[in-house]
Amino acid sequence: MVTIRLSRGGAKKKPFYHIVVADSRYP
């Protein structure tokens, strides 16, 4: 099973999001 997550990064006033695809077989 593959899990898709949104990770938030960047500064408080300029946040950005990137998609993290994590395979459940690997922690």
- Give the structural domain span for 25: 1-27
Closest CA to 17 of 9, 25, 26: 9
Q: What is the pLDDT of residue 5?
A: 78
| Number of domains forming the structure of the chain | 1
Strand stretches in the chain, DSSP E: 2-10, 15-23
User: Which pLDDT tens digits describe the chain residue by residue (27 residues)?
Assistant: 777 777 777 787 887 777 777 777 766
- Put simply, whether the predicted model's pTM sits higher than 0.85 gets the answer no
DSSP label at 27? -
Q: What is the pLDDT of residue 26?
A: 67
